Amino acid sequence: MLLLNSFITFLIAPLGTALLAWALAVVLSLRGRKRSAQVLAVLAFVWLWCWSTPLASHWIRGQLEASYPPLPLAAVPAAQAVVVLGGTMDPPDALRPWPNLGQAADRVWHASRLFASGKAPVVLLSGGSDLSKSSQPEALGMRQFMLDLGVPASALLTEEFSRNTRQNAEMSAKLLRERGIQKVLLVTSALHMRRAVQLFEQQGLEVHAVATDHEVGNSNGRLPWLPDANSLDGSARAFKELVAFWAIRP
């Protein structure tokens, strides 16, 4: 199922769509429909160029992030628990005995700030890993990070088996219900927040979004219409979030 999901994610991304269109263009050309093949190949090129530009990539990511701007601590309400979603680091493996922090690791740092400011007395870290490749679940790596940031072990809960956002919500909600927790501060990337909130609310929780990892902002002087790999990656992740969100709507 994970392989199938990965393949579908690839196909709906701009690069996957363009490659599929080019493959179809080759088939059309071999069948003698050269005009149709040329048109399809050009459209695929334009499509890929468009979503590889900072201009288009920032626009589509902005559609997802706009509802979840950065919040000062004073604007965050108190809750019964902070829930931090995985995707923040690569856990230790046979070649590396320590976690490797990813670009979303500031989710963990931000959660520690929420705890230190008294916004919630408990932090639940949600994230499993493929234990055939990693020596421990991601949640345990996040736990060590939180301990290093000064959060006491008594305040930390771990959910160590989820492999996607739906499982994050289902398994976290079970642990929270067992402790009588209903109101949570959900910490994940702004790009991911819309889908995460939907899934956690479907579990009957009162969810207050505290987004981090905001991507749309300064273009760092890049020409907005010139393609680059980072923009293509950002567009692909935005496409994944949009399609996945519509798929889970009731």
- Predicted structure pTM score: 0.90
Do 146 and 199 belong together in one domain?
Answer: yes
Within this chain, do residues 112 and 61 fall inside the same structural domain, yes or no?
no
Query: pLDDT by residue (tens digit) across 30-50?
Result: 999 999 999 999 999 999 999
* Strand pairing category for 81-85 and 123-126: parallel
- Tell me if 196 sits within 8 A of 165, measured CB to CB: yes
More confident residue, 160 or 7: 160
pLDDT of residue 114: 98
**How high is the pLDDT of residue 211?**
97
- Asked if 44 and 121 sit in the same domain, the reply is no
Q: Are residues 8 and 104 in the same domain?
A: no
> Is 79 inside a domain boundary?
yes
pLDDT exceeds cutoff 70 at 250: no
| CATH number for the domain harbouring residue 99 | 3.40.50.620
Q: Is residue 190 part of a domain?
A: yes
Q: Give a yes or no: residue 223 inside a domain.
A: no
Judge if 194 and 160 occupy the same domain.
yes
| pLDDT for the residue 127 | 94
Q: What is the mean pLDDT of residues 168-188?
A: 97
Q: How confident is the model at residue 221 (pLDDT cuts 50, 70, 90)?
A: low
Asked if residue 73 lies in contact with residue 114, where contact means CB atoms within 8 angstroms, the answer is yes
In the structure, what pLDDT confidence band is assigned to residue 60 with cuts at 50, 70 and 90?
Answer: very high
Residue 19 CB coordination number (10 Å)? 15
Could you give phi then psi for residue 60, rounded to 5 degrees? -70, -35
Domain assignment of residue 162, given as a range: 73-212
Task: Please check whether residues 117 and 152 belong to one and the same domain.
Answer: yes
Residues 191 and 239 in one domain: no
Does 199 map to a domain?
yes
What is the number of structural domains in the chain? Answer: 2
pLDDT band at 246 (very low <50, low <70, confident <90, very high): confident
| Domain-embedded: residue 219 | no
* Stronger pLDDT, 96 or 188, i.e. the higher one: 188
pLDDT by residue (tens digit) across 73-98?
A: 999 999 999 999 999 998 887 788 88
